[in-house]
Structure 1
Amino acid sequence: MTDEHIDSLIPYDDVVQEALRAVVGRVLGDVAVNGLPGDHHFYITFKTQAPGVAIPVHLHERFPDEMTIVLQHKYWDLKVESDHFEVGLSFSQIPSHLVIPYSAITAFVDPAVDFALQFHVDAGESGPEPHEEAGNDEPTVLVEDGSNVVSVDFGRKK
């Protein structure tokens, strides 16, 4: 047996990422019907320039590459579809409607139970630029411990 890297003809990374993004959709779907249970709340990071993302211009200007939103106390009209979700949030006291495809999500965190999913995003050679966290009028702290973090990247060639 050799140490050479064998390229798979099966896109495992894409299949697994799609399945994990479906987890986000299922969780959000349950929340849309039943509300957030207990102390659960979510930090959702997404690429603001990804296809299908619809956010107000003032948010695009503030977050030209990536943005983190919080679903906790101040959100409304959560609608969950098979390929995206929509939600109303307030930023600096300005109500905003956001449409976020699951394919644009780069991270999903529920700090109440130390659960996180991270997704691979093709961002060119330089990677994503640093960004501020939106916070939805509340201070935010992302979980860094990550004992339940699932990160999937099978070493895709660029």
Structure 2
Amino acid sequence: MTDTPPDSLIPYDEIVQDALRAVVGRVLGQVEKDGLPGSHHFYITFKTHAPGVDIPRHLTERYPDEMTIVIQNRYWDLKVSAEGFEVGLSFNQIGSRLVIPFAAITAFHDPAVDFALHFSAQVDDQQPEEIAAAENDPIVKPVEDGSNVVSVDFTRKK
């Protein structure tokens, strides 16, 4: 008898990832409605070439893989939908509109309360070494630094 669990026919990793990305959507939806409460602010990291991402060319040239934005004092026109959000931000004093699907997000952090969510990247955006690692069983690593960080790192099997 083998100790290896059978492959699941239920995509638990995708379901959990979608649910945690919905947390980001719900938080941004509240901010869209009421503004940022207290000292809350967000660092949101996303894949710049993920499907549905729409950002100015100078940003994709500067950040060819991932980019982190800050939603704090200087943002405008935050609009949240079921699929993602769009927001106005300034880069080098140039106003820009960014459209970011929730599926493109790889990290969400609110430093005011030390809360963070980390998401695995999509396999097609990864380097060959990462793809080889993604073919193995999912790895879940607890964060042991005493913070309120939730780290979810599911990978897809080929």
Q: CA deviation at 1:154?
A: 4.4
Asked if 1:126 is matched to 2:129, the reply is: yes
Task: Report the structure, 1 or 2, having the larger helix content.
Answer: 2
Once the two structures are superposed, residues 87-128 of structure 1 have per-residue CA deviations (whole angstroms, 9 ceiling, x without a partner) of 000001110000000000000000000000000112243349
Report which structure shows greater RCO (CA 8 Å, sep ≥6): 1
Which residues of 2 match residues 56-75 of structure 1 at below 5 A? Answer: 56-75=56-75
1:98 partnered with 2:101:
no
Report the residue type matching 1:90 in the other structure.
Answer: S
Q: Does 1:33 align with 2:33?
A: yes
Q: Per the alignment, in what secondary structure is the counterpart of residue 128 of structure 2?
A: coil
Q: Give the gaps of 5 or more residues in structure 1.
A: 129-144
Find out whether 1:48 has 2:48 as its counterpart: yes
* SS, match of residue 82 in structure 2: coil
Q: Distance in 2 between matches of 1:126 and 1:59?
A: 26
CA contact (8 A) 2:120 2:154 kept: no
Aligned with 1:2: secondary structure? coil
The aligned counterpart of 1:142 is none
Offset at residue 3 of structure 1 (A): 2.0
Closer, same or farther in 2 for the Cα pair 1:102/1:79, shift >3 Å?
A: same
How many residue pairs were aligned?
142
Whether contact under 8 Å (2:40, 2:111) holds in the other structure is yes
Within 2, Cα distance between the matches of 1:16 and 1:101? 17
User: Could you tell me how far 1:4 is from its partner in structure 2?
Assistant: 1.9
In angstroms, what is the RMSD of aligned CA positions?
1.7
Separation of aligned partners in 1, 2:6 and 2:151? 21
TM-score normalised per structure 1: 0.84
Paired residues of 1:114 and 1:146 also in contact (CA < 8 A): no
Q: List structure 1 segments (4+ residues) > 4 angstroms apart after TM superposition.
A: none
C-alpha displacement of 1:153: 3.1
Letter in 2 for 1:27: V
Secondary structure class of the residue paired with 1:67: strand
3-state SS in 2 of match to 1:37: coil
